[in-house]
Structure 1
Amino acid sequence: MSFSHNQAQQKNGMAIAALVLGILAALTFWTVFGGILLGVVAVILGIIAARKARGGRAPNGKMAVIGAGLGAAGIIGSIVIIAMGVSFLNSTEFKSFEECASKAKTQSERTACEKDFNKDMNN
């Protein structure tokens, strides 16, 4: 009896791993490591585990699908965060601030650049 219980746990491992990694990817989507790397691994493991479950070779197909879905959500969230960051860094306001700050020689000039940047961002 304990042998079949251990055997079921071994077959379950990929679905559990997909779920755990999917949860971590969804919770840490704002980091490249968390969202993209963990998300990709969760999606891959989830798809493999779901196929095994569909073929009757492993239990917990729903867990595998949920893990893959959460992994995909983490990937999408990371892509959105990266796109927002790239958009900000390529904005006219940021480039103006960067130019102003590079030319500033004193702390008061840098502070003036920051104030101008904040004013530009709020308008």
Structure 2
Amino acid sequence: MSTPDNPQQPQYQQYPTNPSGAYGAPQAAGYGQPVSAPRNGFGITALVLGIIALVLCWTVWAGIILGVLALIFGILGIKRANRGEATNKGASIAGLVTGVIGLVIGAVILIAIGSIFASVGSQISDLQDCLKSATTTQAQEQCQQQFSDSVQNR
């Protein structure tokens, strides 16, 4: 469509502006409560900590500490989602589950290491004493053989 004054230039339609001067549909004012953004921080935190707990569960303490934190944040995230304050209940549940798995694996590894040291601790002490008193390579090899025999006989 062209204007009568200038046949070469098309005429464009003017879009209405809202009271703020921005283009687009006018915003309704004064109706209801303002909508707040969902508070998804606990669920996301639980998921991140749970994943890190799984990755680092072999370090025992990281798996246990991060697993407990993921468990706490997961429970808080689920409660917040149940109240309608958050929209990521699935992330909270996933964080809770991964945190518990990391916690359990870390605890099992800690128990296994503790039992190994409890059963072999005296033999290690004996080996160290023997190696300190050994002056020759043959005496050191004999200490190692005695240690190996005592561990195998357990």
Q: CA deviation at 1:120?
A: 4.8
Percent of aligned pairs sharing the same letter: 31
Unpaired runs of at least 5, structure 1: none
1:62 and 1:112 map into 2 onto residues whose CA distance is 60
Structure 1 counterpart of 2:54, from 14, 22, 26: 26
Which structure 2 residues correspond to residues 66-105 of structure 1 after superposition, within 5 A? Answer: 66-91=94-119, 93-104=120-131, 105=133
Structure 1 counterpart of 2:68, from 5, 26, 40: 40
2:87 and 2:143 map into 1 onto residues whose CA distance is 60
2:40 and 2:101 map into 1 onto residues whose CA distance is 22
TM-score (norm 1): 0.79
Partner deviation per Cα, 1:93-120 (whole Å, 9 max, x = no partner): 4422321321331363344333343455
TM-score (norm 2): 0.65
Structure 1 counterpart of 2:44, from 12, 16, 31: 16
1:56 counterpart SS class: coil
Give the residue type in structure 2 aligned to 1:114: Q
Residues 113, 58 of structure 1: alpha-carbon distance in 2 compared, 3 angstrom cutoff: same
The structure that has the greater radius of gyration is 2
Give the number of equivalent residue pairs. Answer: 116
2:80 and 2:47 map into 1 onto residues whose CA distance is 15
Unpaired runs of at least 5, structure 2: 1-34
Partner deviation per Cα, 1:41-98 (whole Å, 9 max, x = no partner): 110000000111122111111110110111111111111111111111111x442232
RMSD: 2.3
Q: Which residue does 2:145 correspond to in 1?
A: 115
Residues 110, 66 of structure 1: alpha-carbon distance in 2 compared, 3 angstrom cutoff: farther
Q: Which residue does 1:51 correspond to in 2?
A: 79
Q: Where has structure 1 moved over 2 Å in runs of 4 or more?
A: 106-123
